[in-house]
Amino acid sequence: MHGQFDSPITLPSNGSPPFRISGPLEEVDSGVDEVRIIFLIVQGQGGKVVTVQGEGTWKRSSSGNKWIGEAVPPVTPYGGAQPKFDAGPARGIALAIAISKGQVVNGDFVPPSIETLTWCADFKFET
């Protein structure tokens, strides 16, 4: 597998999640029909870093080579302000988890396997 984030990604007018994140997921094993993706988005430096997490999926039947996910607002245990992203560069960090189908080979069952992929990539937010 090989993953990436689309760029640019359009922010909602208030710059706060939830918003859609997507990107290509290529070279997926033919025995895999669905891939789950967990990701983080980081923007800024030092004390002004904004970080959120999200989840997405890729499905062979409907997605072509595109995974689609949503960044969700984090729960702020101390009543802090919701994160806000600005137009400009950001970094995406992702983990893709694929489970291949089991199969019978020469009369023996070969169990399913789990394949993972991680990637980090810069992308750009735009309004």
What value does the mean pLDDT of the chain take? 90
Domain residue limits, the chain: 2-126
**pLDDT for the residue numbered 99:** 92
The strand pair at 66-72 and 50-59 is best described as antiparallel
Confidence of residue 8 (pLDDT cuts 50, 70, 90): very high
pTM score of the predicted model: 0.86
Q: How many whole angstroms separate alpha carbon 21 and alpha carbon 109?
A: 38
- From 1.10.3470, 2.60.40, 3.40.50, 3.30.70, which CATH number describes the 2-126 domain? 2.60.40
Q: Report yes or no: 39 and 69 within 8 Å, Cβ to Cβ.
A: yes
pLDDT digits (tens, 9 = 90+) for 62-89: 767 999 999 987 665 566 667 789 999 9
Residue type, 114: I
